[in-house]
Structure 1
Amino acid sequence: MKLRRLLSVFLLAALLCGLFTVPAAALEDPDIRAKAALLVEAETGTILYDKNAHDELSIASTTKIMSALLIFEAIERGELRMDQSVTATASALRGLPEDGSTADIVEGETLTVEQLLYCMLVISANETCNILGETVAGSVDAFVERMNQRAQELGCKNTHFANTTGLTQSGHYSCAYDLYLITREAMTFEDFMTIVNTKSYEIPPTNKTEEERVLHSTNALISNWRLAGYLYSGAQGIKTGSTDAAGQCLVSSAVRGSRTLISVVLGAEKVEKENGSGYIVESFTETARLFDWGFDNFSSRQVLDENELVQEVPVALSKQVSTVAVHPAQSAEAMLPKDLNVESLTRTVTLDNETALAPIAAGDRLGEITVSYGDTEYVTVPLLAVADVSASRFLLARHAVGEFFSRPSIRIAAIALLVLIVALVLWFRFYGRNRRYGKAGSKQYRHRSYHGRRH
């Protein structure tokens, strides 16, 4: 799983740095001929090119990337094994068009999960999505529900699946950016990348066939068996797709040196050659142009050094020092257009608090620094204290008392107590005295009758 671990590091870097788009004015637009296109630097998550990347479109068999992702995740959870035998059911084969992509699997035929995945991803066999979907979820409909749930979990905003295959159906759509999110996750599985980068694969005879099946990739960037003239050095997978509604679609990746690019091209066309000798499938040619443009015009350059002192942060509650220096939590690189000078980048420091409170330990986070150019944010990294700062016990105690009495609940309670004390004082002053001496202005006299002197 070395590749998966490596790609997981790439994803972590993307989360730390955030996904962003390079300044459009920095480079000449490659003007990709398709309804939508996206090019992303895998290592950093940098969006190098974006054309209608969030438009909802038909996506044809690129749908199968999500179907495969769910299968590999089920294998990872131990719910399936690559060598597990699965038998095709009538319900899994029902409703599939006869002229669609198929491995000619029939009801009652048994293949392994691995063989079915090769059929799904190498020749885009529609029936394999339903067969494996039933195996994992119990029914095709339940598997489609899982596809939609997983899309939401991955952050897809413009995606809804109505089937497992990508066949044209109302309510089945996605966008270039969402397909990138799904593909990025699938690429963390080494077996997925092995299969999608396979030129040909042989399936031996089964319980329903006497001859082996030889599968040849539909991806002309890695195999010229079906179409010649499109091979791209460094291309690795990933998935083709084409229907009348979706046009020519291709999700692909390519490696050059230490760099990996991921591209999505949707809604490209077949264009007849000028000499009339055939046609050009522009999903392949435009993807190749995107890769060349990305590799040729961008380079990774260091924009932050973890050892540099960015600034001094004011410190309170310490008698030793009044400031502490901060440094980036890590060195950081950004994928920049080659004609963009690093010195022209803008650094913005945001402190967690205007004044840091002692005690402070070296390595404590005190803020963050963002490196940007124009409206494009390239990197955001935490800022850490470079040294310990001890606190004054007296200042700390005074601060604690102040903090205690500054709490809204304490202040309300204090006010209520004060009101109660005032009320009690007034009560004792007026009502208590009245009880002791009687009401003011009133007098009681004891009347005695005079009966004269007794003789």
Structure 2
Amino acid sequence: MKKVLIGILTGVLLVSSPVSAKEEIEQLYAQSAVLMDADNGRVLFEKNGSEKKPMASTTKIMTCILALEEGNLTDVVNVSENAARQPKVHLGMQMDEKFYLRDLLYSLMLESHNDSAVAIAEHIGGSVQAFADKMNAKAKEIGCRDTYFITPNGLDASDDKGEHSTTAEDLARIMSYCILKSPKKESFLSITQKGSYHFMDVDCHRSFSCQNHNAFLTMMDGVLSGKTGFTGKAGYCYVGALESRGRTFVVALLGCGWPNNKGYKWADTRRLMTYGMENYELREAFSGKEPLRDVTVKAGIPTSGNLFEKAHVPVKIEKIQNSPVEVLLHREEEIETVVELQEEVQAPIERYEKLGTVRYILDREVLQQYPIVAQENVEKINFRWIFQKISGYYFLNEDGRM
């Protein structure tokens, strides 16, 4: 069977959004930064987005989502000596104290307590090392390519396999998973959106109070979640998410200043979020309504029944979804639609048989594709059919017509 490329039906491949993005966001403080479409993981803007760097306490979004997915909020967590001796910032827990997992997750995400992170890791994984293995396995499952976890709290660390590090792109991908794809996304959002939280240890000997240090929650409308981080090696880091008119943006920043430049991360986050909201809109795509020619069917019985005509079969795009599909696109972007369709096929052909493919491409990446299928059956010419047609030429009906 011979295939022919029918061609590009609409649009122009990514025109200039990366260039215009750099023109419009010329000055970022962060050494590495990514603006991501959380719905599909597409990077809308990046500055050294695939460069590996330490990520400080932004690590804790992975610790939190793993604890939510593999633990129960009512679990009782026993504090080990290792957890109790973690450095500041810490809750100040004491060895052999007991806490509910739910309360430690607020301590982890609102105040970024390092001892709570270790206590959670030991409870879920059995040890910090075993929990780190879970973190790395989850990162691979999510689609991270250059992330390596050693600690559950993000303190600078290295071992014979490498340095505790990630990339801005991977960090944005992890946050996207936490807020949109995890089966525990509602719990994650509920915890990270809480302004303050108060709790006691299980035995009610001591009380604790936590305040959310994600100041970005009140800086822009639609902020969903976020996590700050800082170590001397990582500098100020941040990962946050925002929803606006059905669009969900994630910003990840690594190495965004050192003391006394704590506010750099907020300026960068606002700049990137604003750029996303002003330049990217949801547009209907993958319509599946592109015009298609009929396909010639070699040795097929034509619909007309005429012995001397070629058979053709009408085709259609078989969409998996019936509802319109929307894609977040830059105002200068258009999706390229490419149709590959058989020029000629051999009879017999069955209805819904695949005869080609339509692909929707953006920035040289296939966003979606659908099969092109036959709309009806086409039987193969046989001796009986030929004999009947030939006989018709010699035996005219009473009106003098064949």
TM-score (norm 1): 0.70
Partner of 1:6: none
Q: CA RMSD in A?
A: 2.7
Is 2:54 the counterpart of 1:58?
Answer: yes
Q: Pairwise mapping of residues 77-226 of structure 1 onto structure 2 (< 5 A)? A: 80-94=71-85, 96-97=86-87, 100-170=88-158, 171-187=163-179, 188=182, 189-204=185-200, 206-207=202-203, 209-210=205-206, 212-222=207-217
Give the Å deviation of 1:314: 4.2
**Among candidates 71, 74, 87, match of residue 67 of structure 2:** 71
Partner of 2:351: 361
Matched residue type, 1:259: R
Distance 1:110 1:254, change over 3 A: same
Distance 1:184 1:394, change over 3 A: farther
Is 2:256 the counterpart of 1:268?
Answer: yes
Is 2:339 the counterpart of 1:338?
Answer: no
**Among candidates 278, 295, 302, match of residue 284 of structure 2:** 302
- Partner Cα distance (2:325, 2:354) in 1: 17
2:69 match: secondary structure: helix
**Among candidates 212, 215, 223, match of residue 235 of structure 1:** 223
Give the Å deviation of 1:271: 7.2
Give the Å deviation of 1:49: 0.7
Structure with a larger share of its residues in helix: 1
Unaligned runs of 5+ in 2: 1-13, 303-310, 384-402
2:122 match: secondary structure: helix
Structure with a larger share of its residues in strand: 2
- Partner Cα distance (1:365, 1:26) in 2: 40
2:89 match: secondary structure: coil
- Partner Cα distance (2:328, 2:78) in 1: 48
Partner of 2:269: 287
Matched residue type, 2:328: M
Distance 1:143 1:325, change over 3 A: same
* Equivalent residues of 1:334, 1:379 under 8 A apart: no
Matched residue type, 1:214: S
* Equivalent residues of 1:167, 1:243 under 8 A apart: yes
Q: Pairwise mapping of residues 5-84 of structure 1 onto structure 2 (< 5 A)? A: 23-27=17-21, 28-31=23-26, 32-74=28-70, 80-84=71-75
Give the Å deviation of 1:24: 1.4
Give the Å deviation of 1:232: 1.9
- Partner Cα distance (2:280, 2:187) in 1: 30
* Equivalent residues of 2:316, 2:372 under 8 A apart: yes
Q: Which has the higher contact order (CA 8 A, sep 6+)?
A: 2
Matched residue type, 1:185: Y
Matched residue type, 1:325: V
Give the Å deviation of 1:365: 4.2
Matched residue type, 1:289: R
Matched residue type, 2:375: A
Distance 1:378 1:30, change over 3 A: farther
Larger Rg: 1
Distance 1:127 1:67, change over 3 A: same
1:86 match: secondary structure: strand
1:9-37 deviations in Å (ceiling 9; x for gaps)? xxxxxxxxxxx997313543413221111
1:238 match: secondary structure: strand
Give the Å deviation of 1:250: 0.7
- Partner Cα distance (1:101, 1:108) in 2: 20
Distance 1:205 1:347, change over 3 A: closer
Aligned identity (percent) is 26
- Partner Cα distance (1:90, 1:315) in 2: 77
Runs of 4+ in structure 1 displaced over 6 angstroms? Answer: none
- Partner Cα distance (2:350, 2:299) in 1: 10
Matched residue type, 2:81: A
- Partner Cα distance (1:103, 1:40) in 2: 33
- For structure 1, which segment, 241-250 or 262-271, has the greater mean C-alpha deviation from structure 2 after superposition? 262-271
Give the Å deviation of 1:356: 4.8
Give the Å deviation of 1:107: 1.2
2:145 match: secondary structure: coil
* Equivalent residues of 2:296, 2:344 under 8 A apart: yes
Matched residue type, 2:186: E
Give the Å deviation of 1:249: 0.7
1:248-292 deviations in Å (ceiling 9; x for gaps)? 1111001112221111111101576xxxxxx55111110111100
Give the Å deviation of 1:197: 1.4
* Equivalent residues of 1:307, 1:327 under 8 A apart: yes
Give the Å deviation of 1:54: 0.9
- Partner Cα distance (1:22, 1:86) in 2: 52
Partner of 1:390: 378
* Equivalent residues of 2:350, 2:374 under 8 A apart: no
1:233 match: secondary structure: coil
2:217 match: secondary structure: coil
